[in-house]
């Protein structure tokens, strides 16, 4: 079974096997959900409840990235580059 880009990034940033709570893993997971929800909203333009959820996820990801930037700037830069996010 072929791994997707997001699954590869999850295994790359895991601190230990089964890691689901580290900042990097949370950012990767949120990015995956954001991409899926964005795809959904392209076809369902009037789904405003999902749009609110999307905005909340984007805000949470931004807060986690800000925290990572203050704690470990090198790791932040690497993660942003791998995910293809704007700074």
pLDDT, position 1? 44
pLDDT digits (tens, 9 = 90+) for 26-79: 999 999 999 999 999 999 999 999 999 999 999 999 999 999 999 999 999 999
Residue 10 is predicted with a pLDDT of 85
CATH architecture group of domain 22-82: Orthogonal Bundle (1.10)
- Compare 62 and 7 and report the one with higher pLDDT: 62
Residues contacting residue 12 through CB under 8 Å, at least 6 positions apart: 82
Instruction: Please report the pLDDT score of residue 33 as a whole number.
Output: 94
Q: How do the domains of the chain map onto residue ranges?
A: 22-82
Tell me the H-state helices in the chain. 5-13, 23-43, 48-71, 73-83
């Amino acid at each position: 079974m072929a791994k997707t880009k997001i699954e590869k990034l999850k295994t790359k940033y895991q601190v230990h096997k089964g890691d689901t709570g580290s900042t990097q893993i949370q950012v990767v997971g949120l990015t995956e959900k954001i991409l899926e929800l964005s795809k959904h909203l392209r076809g369902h333009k009037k789904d405003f409840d999902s749009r609110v959820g999307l905005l909340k996820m984007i805000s949470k990801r931004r807060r986690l990235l800000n925290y990572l930037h203050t704690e470990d700037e090198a790791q932040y830069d690497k993660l942003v580059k791998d995910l293809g996010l704007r700074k």
